[in-house]
Amino acid sequence: MKTGMAAMAWLALSATGAQAAADTAQKPCLTPVEAQALIIALMPPAVRAVGGACNSALPSVAYLRTNADRLGQRYTAPAIAAKPAAASALGKISGTGDKITPDTFDTFANMLVGELVTKGIKPDVCAKVDRVAALLDPLPPANLAGFVAAILEFTSEDSKRGPDLNICKA
């Protein structure tokens, strides 16, 4: 699953989860609600990063080239609302507890997510990412984040298929 908005969140959460696994013997788990808040909060910087990474690989009429800014702005208000829960979730999986504040979270999201996302997005997959982004655009941000969180939950048990992120069992 290296396409679309799901890929953006997947890559960011994979790296965060891998760091948490390296830092602790027993990985803490995120509830589906915590995972969803983290995904929503990561959406604006992830959309900007993918749009930038694919800009030169896509034709001028491509969906991401014409809509990435609008998508980033559309996800901004839900991301701001989710930021306290996302900061808490990030603190939980990184082992730093309540030391991660919404401002610290912004630093992570804006600097690190862009780098993590663009490492996984190569020019040859940009057309696929563009197509999936267009298909997912009509979903409200909460539904998209819930969808990605569900995929992460379903795949978190299989380290070959999913990110190194532990989603709590219901």
One-letter-per-residue 3-state SS of 99-168: HCCHHHHHHHHHHHHHHHHHHHCCHHHHHHHHHHHHHHCCCCHHHHHHHHHHHHHHHCCCCCCCCCCCEC
57 DSSP 8-state letter = G
pTM: 0.78
- Binned average pLDDT, 10 residues per bin, the chain of 170 residues: 44 46 62 92 90 92 93 93 94 85 84 75 91 94 92 74 69
Q: For position 132, what pLDDT does the model report?
A: 93
Contact 85, 40 (CB under 8 A): no
Report the amino acid identity of residue 9. A
Q: How deeply is 107 buried, as exposed, middle or buried, from its count of CB atoms within 10 A (0-12, 13-18, 19+)?
A: exposed
Can you name the residues that pair with 167 across neighbouring β-strands? Answer: 30
